[in-house]
């Protein structure tokens, strides 16, 4: 199986890659939140030692999250290769980040679909039933 073989979203490999991608997204969002929360605490601490300590803890947790992500992306495929799992290359960082991109693109497209539906525009990618209630005059 090649490295770009993650095509079917119902295969076990694809589900695992999707779970790993969601973990990477969650860690990234948590690290960003931790970073901005620490900045907020530093700015508004007014010299309070407890708020400064809390801000430093936030930065520590952010760094731990980033390190955990790097370890996850590097260690997981290596562990599977060591365990002689078939098609371990599917779980490499390249494929995980490709899936992260697909998830984020889907989320952005969902936002566009909501905006278009509020404007009364229909996404041409969706098939609509020609006999819908709006097609009939009352």
SS (H, E, C) 34-76: HHHHHHHHHHCCCCCHHHHHHHHHHHHHHHHHHHHHHHHHHHH
pLDDT tens per residue, range 87-136: 777 878 888 888 888 888 888 777 777 777 777 666 555 555 554 444 44
pLDDT value of residue 133: 46
Measured at the CA of 25, the angle between CA 22 and CA 30, to 5 degrees, comes to: 125
Q: How many residues would you count in the chain?
A: 138
Domain ranges of the chain: 14-101
Contact 97, 69 (CB under 8 A): no
Q: Is the per-residue pLDDT at 8 higher than 70?
A: no
Residue 40 pLDDT level (bands cut at 50, 70, 90): confident
Neighbours of 94 (CB within 10 A): 13
Residue matched to tokens 């525009």: 121
pTM, full prediction: 0.65
pLDDT tens per residue, range 46-65: 778 887 888 888 888 888 88
């Amino acid at each position: 199986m090649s490295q770009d073989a993650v095509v079917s979203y119902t295969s076990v490999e694809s589900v695992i890659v999707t779970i790993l991608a969601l973990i990477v997204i969650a860690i990234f969002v948590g690290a960003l939140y931790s970073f901005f929360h620490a900045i907020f605490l530093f700015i508004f601490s007014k010299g309070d030692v407890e708020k400064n300590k809390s801000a430093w803890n936030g930065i520590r947790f952010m760094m731990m999250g980033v390190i955990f992500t790097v370890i996850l992306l590097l260690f997981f495929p290596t562990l599977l290769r060591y365990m002689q799992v078939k098609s371990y290359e599917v779980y490499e960082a390249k494929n995980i980040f490709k899936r992260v991109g697909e998830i984020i693109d889907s989320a952005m497209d969902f936002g566009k679909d909501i905006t278009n539906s509020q404007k009364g525009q229909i996404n041409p990618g969706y098939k609509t039933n020609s006999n819908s209630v709006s097609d009939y005059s009352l």
